[in-house]
Amino acid sequence: MYHLTDKIVRELNDHFDITRLLDAVKQIDQIRSILKENHQGQPPKIRDELLKLHGIVQKAMQESDHDVNLEELWNLAGNIEYFFDDLVGAANDIRSTVRDLLSFMPDPFESTEESCINE
């Protein structure tokens, strides 16, 4: 069982910016707004773009006359990558915040000689 010690409280106060957790909540809200259905109940635009990209690539793989708009394919793929770079960046920021917080977690097998809070 973990105990909140004076040392953990000091380390958190000295080395963890708690506002990062609120920033993580804001990032989740931003991700949700990007991926939510629009006001008419239609799925997010990225879904349609992925389906369109699938169609273009499928046509490129099946067409013997190679009548495929490669500029559209590469532009669409680039836009999708850019979109996900933003989402992955936000997710990585959230993960980093939580990972930093977890770095303060004591070893449950380590004996603590410091006074425990809330015993």
Q: What is the pLDDT of residues 9-28, one digit of tens each?
A: 999 999 999 999 999 999 99
Question: Range of 60's domain?
Answer: 17-103
Residue 51 CB neighbour total at 10 angstroms: 11
C-alpha span between 1 and 109 (Å, rounded): 9
Q: Does a structural domain hold residue 2?
A: no
Tell which residue, 108, 94, 95, 92, has the closest CA to residue 28: 94
The pLDDT confidence band at residue 111, using thresholds 50, 70 and 90, is: low
Q: Does a structural domain hold residue 5?
A: no
Q: Does a structural domain hold residue 7?
A: no
Q: Does a structural domain hold residue 66?
A: yes
Question: Can you give the CATH number for the domain in which 78 is found?
Answer: 1.20.5
Q: What is the pLDDT of residues 38-71, one digit of tens each?
A: 777 778 888 999 999 999 998 888 876 577 888 9
Number of domains, the chain: 1
Q: Are 30 and 90 in contact (CB under 8 A)?
A: yes
